[in-house]
Each structure stands twice: as structure tokens, then as C-alpha cells.
A = this chain, B = another copy of it.
Amino acid sequence: MDGAQAMIRTLVDAGVDTCFTNPGTSEMHFVAALDHVPGMRGVLALFEGVATGAADGWGRMTGRPAATLLHLGPGLGNGLANLHNARRAGTPMVNIVGDHATYHLRYDAPLNSNIDTVARNVSRWIGRPSTAGELGAITADAVAAAHGPPADVATLILPADVSWSDGAEPAAAHAERAPATVADDAVESVALALRSGEPTVLFLGGGALRRPHLQAAARIAAATGARLMGATFVPRTERGAGIPGVERLAYFAEMAAAQLEGVRHLVLVDVGSPVSFFAYPDKPSDLVPEGCRVQVLAGPGEDSAGALAHLADLVGADPPSAPPPPLPDIASGALTNRSIAAAVAAALPAEAIVSDESATASAEVAAATAGAPRHDYLQLMGGAIGQGLPLATGAAVACPDRPVFALEADGSAMYTIQALWTQAREQLDVTTVIFNNRSYAILNIELARTGAGEGGPKARDLFDLSRPDLDFVRIAEGMGVPAVAVSTTAELTAALSRAAAEPGPHLIDAQVSR
């Protein structure tokens, strides 16, 4: 059996059955093996950043690693930004990077480059088999490293001759490791803080905004008066009617500081201590207020659900039944971030998946959808824009029976717009709503916040996407996705209904009023 076949068999046996890819010549034996080994689905992307972002979405929704298959250093580079996001999300992923044959490296052919250095930027685990004989075992190691816990991106660099040589055997999957149980002492120490009566925040991030976590957290809050707060960015939040909601820490540091003012105990659950996203002149990076004690209830790779349940048993009470917040009214007329968010919230069916990369509209989107039916809400984790469309694509591959919504800023959408083609090719149920304000609006805000002033004409011009306007309808249709532009809430609501009624992907270019 050649290396590629043994590798795919090992992956499939370990539950890695989907590969997002844009392959090249050095990956041809892996590609050929897809027809010889059953069970692996290959999903083609027109650009590697789509493949890695889709693998992130797939991993967030299944809890298992997808594979990617990338073409040498440049293919890894093209996928890097969304690998960075995946790593920050703690998504399990097995990243396979084809390389030249081992004996070909010394000739420094044109595509040669130092793959390992790039891989280090985005992978905790890196493997590079040098013979087909060891490929099975190293592949099983890669899957285990991706699973963790904590989950992470594992990168396996696969020389072409290791892939094509015979003498390989599949390896059995490692036993899955359970997350580490949090020690009783740590839970009791947090219980002490909660009983102090001093202002306490239970700060939830990472994998701790799922339903069991939130239900335990709500019991804790009901008994102790602690505030529940979610991190600004969370890989996957279960939310909507019937699931306890949490306040979110704001993106802008001055707003976050106001939220945290007076807090004396900050309890971290699967998340780091809050810091400013960027540094700004004369503003603190560390958002923990003076005099506040920070305690860790559960760190990455620890059983945060178990720790919260334990804590709730120590201090908890049944939470009052809280009706879901009402859906906001949809203001008629020209579109604003708020009215788009309200219209989308009203259109969200139960069990929807929302990929939110609406940038300056995100706060409105989060608020408007809080009372929508139950849904999963996926956020940009690493700040590298161009995640939203690929993430929605992968989530839709993972969950073919659930409607997926990609809520996208115009500037971010253009980074990985090629994702639309994969949505059309796979006939995925993704509805993309572009919040089209014809600018990098966030940068107009950030320019002033960094103390760089209001900006002259050359600076402002670099944030302007209206010269020329981007016509997302034509762009989407050019990739096989039906699309419509809307400029009023009535048109938007009608477009959302049509998208829901028809199978396959749709795009709605929502023109924000200037």
C-alpha cells in the first residue's frame, strides 16, 4: 500500500472523513488515493484560505478535526490567516502540506521554501515523515494532537515520495483523551469568592458558552448574584430562546473597562484574562481593574462543564425562569446595521448556524438575535478577516440539515469571496448577507482611536470601497450563487424568505444607507 492510501485509511479510521483542499502536483498521490480508499470526502476550494476556514467551521460544528490538503509553502501561506483564526478558536484540524520529494529538496526548485517556519506560526504540533513506513503512525499522532485536549491545529508535512512509496500501513487511532478534571480546591476557592458578596464576574470563553455550561452558570448567578459575562469573541456559542444568555465584553477597550469597573473577583472559565484587542497610546492593555482578583476555574483542556456543574452544586440555586428577550422591531425604510440585524433575527429559523463577521455591525447582530430561536453563533477568533464565508461553508458541509447564515462585512467578504463557488458546487444551504457600507468602516473609527487624528484625504481614501462600488450580486452570480441587492427592510425580508424557500446558497447584498 502506498503512503497516501495508508494515510487516508488512518485518517478515516480516526474519524477524519472530510478534506478541504486545493491540491497541486506534489499532492497527486493523495488525490488519486481518494478513489482507492473509501470514506474520505474531498471538498474543492478555489483558494487555500477557503479550505482552511471551512475546516475551521467543520471542526467547530463536529468537535472533530477535518483535514486540509495544501500545496507546499505558498499553499500553506494562502491558508495561514484562517489557520491563525482556527488556532485561536481551539479548533481541531489536521493540516496536510505536500512537499517536494525528500531527495528533490536539495535542488531548491522554484516552489521550494522553508515550510516548517511557516507551519510554526499556526501549529502546536508539526510532523514530517521521511519514509512511507512511518507515515501511518505519524498520521495517527497528528489526529491525536489535533484532538488534544486542548484541541489545536496539527500540521503534517508530506513529502511527495513518502506519499507515493509502497510499504506503508495504516495505524490505529489513539484513544481519545478526556479533558482534565478541575481539582476540588480550585472549585472551592471560586465558591469562596462567590460567597464573599463582593462584585464577581464569571468570565466565560472558549468552549464554555455551550448549553450545559450556560445552564450551570445561570444557577451560580441565581444563587450568588455573580454577573455572567462572555468573552468578546467565542468560537461557538449556543444561544437563543431557552438558553441562558450572557452579557458580552465589548470590543473597544474603553467600553470594556466601563463594564468591568468595580469588579473585585474575575473568574476565568476556558479563557485568558481580558486584554485590549489592540494597543492604543496612553490606554492600558490589561483590562482587569485595579484591586480585582483573577482566579482560574478551568483553563484550556480542562473540563469546564464539569467544573461549572460542581460549582453550581456547591453554591447554586435554580435560576428564575427568564423569558427570552423580545425580537427587536424592524424599522422600515432604508437599511441600517440595526435594521438589517433585526430583519435577520426575525428570519432565523430554529437550529440555524450563524457565522458572524459583520464587523462594525456585530454588536447590533448579537443584540438582535439574542431572542431568536436556538442557534449556534460562530465568531471571528483571531482577528484575521476573511473567515466568515469559509467558516459558513465548512459548517454547512458538517451540518447539511441546518440552515447557515453568513453575516459579512463587505471588506471582509472580499478576502475569501471564492468560498461562494464551493457553496454553489456543494449546493450548501448558506444565506450570505453582506452588510455593504462601501468602506472599511472599522478603520475610520480606529484611525481616531489610535490617536492618528481624523486622517487626510490619502488616509481616508484607503478605507473607501466605493471607488468603484463592489457589486456583490454580479460577483456571486459569477460563481453560481443566486443573489439580489436590497436597500429597504421590506426588500431584505422578502429576499430572506426567498432564500429560505429555495435549496442551495444565496447572497443578499444589503446596501447600508449612507
Interface residues of A (CB under 8 A from B): 21, 23-26, 28-29, 31-32, 34-36, 42, 44, 46-47, 49, 73-75, 77-78, 80-81, 84-85, 88, 100-101, 103-104, 107-111, 113-115, 117-118, 120-122, 160-161, 164, 233, 272, 275-279, 281, 285-286, 381-384, 386, 411, 414-415, 417-418, 421, 424-425, 442-443, 446-447, 450-453, 455-459, 461-462, 465, 467-480
In the complex, 11 of the A-B residue pairs with CB atoms within 8 angstroms, ordered by the A residue number, are A25-B278, A34-B459, A46-B415, A73-B84, A74-B384, A78-B80, A80-B118, A109-B275, A117-B118, A118-B121, A471-B477
16 more contacts with CB within 8 A, not counting A42-B458, A46-B411, are A25-B278, A32-B452, A35-B457, A74-B85, A78-B80, A104-B285, A109-B276, A109-B277, A110-B277, A113-B382, A115-B121, A164-B281, A415-B418, A424-B468, A425-B468, A470-B478
CA distance A42 to B458 in the complex (A): 7
Q: Please, which residues of chain B bring their CB within 8 A of the CB of A468?
A: 421, 424-425, 479-480
User: B104 to A450, Cβ gap below 8 A?
Assistant: no
CA distance A414 to B419 in the complex (A): 11
User: A32 to B453, Cβ gap below 8 A?
Assistant: yes
Minimum C-beta distance from A396 to chain B (A): 16
CA distance A455 to B36 in the complex (A): 10
User: A417 to B418, Cβ gap below 8 A?
Assistant: yes
User: A100 to B279, Cβ gap below 8 A?
Assistant: yes
CA distance A164 to B283 in the complex (A): 14
Q: Please, which residues of chain B bring their CB within 8 A of the CB of A471?
A: 477-480
CA distance A390 to B132 in the complex (A): 39
Minimum C-beta distance from A413 to chain B (A): 10
Q: Please, which residues of chain B bring their CB within 8 A of the CB of A278?
A: 25-26, 100, 104, 109, 111, 160
User: A84 to B113, Cβ gap below 8 A?
Assistant: yes
User: B31 to A447, Cβ gap below 8 A?
Assistant: yes
A477 nearest CB neighbor, chain B only: B474
User: A88 to B74, Cβ gap below 8 A?
Assistant: no
User: A47 to B479, Cβ gap below 8 A?
Assistant: no
Given contacts A24-B443, A80-B80, contact A456 B285 (CB under 8 A): no
Given contacts A32-B453, A80-B77, contact A25 B446 (CB under 8 A): yes
Q: Please, which residues of chain B bring their CB within 8 A of the CB of A479?
A: 468, 470-471, 475
User: B110 to A450, Cβ gap below 8 A?
Assistant: no
Minimum C-beta distance from A332 to chain B (A): 29
User: B478 to A446, Cβ gap below 8 A?
Assistant: no
User: A161 to B462, Cβ gap below 8 A?
Assistant: no
CA distance A477 to B470 in the complex (A): 9
Partner of A475, one of B35, B451, B478: B478
CA distance A5 to B44 in the complex (A): 45
Minimum C-beta distance from A56 to chain B (A): 13
Partner of A113, one of B29, B115, B122: B122
CA distance A44 to B443 in the complex (A): 14
CA distance A411 to B434 in the complex (A): 25
User: A272 to B456, Cβ gap below 8 A?
Assistant: no
CA distance A174 to B423 in the complex (A): 52
Given contacts A28-B443, A34-B456, A285-B107, contact A461 B44 (CB under 8 A): yes
Given contacts A107-B285, A467-B425, contact A461 B42 (CB under 8 A): yes
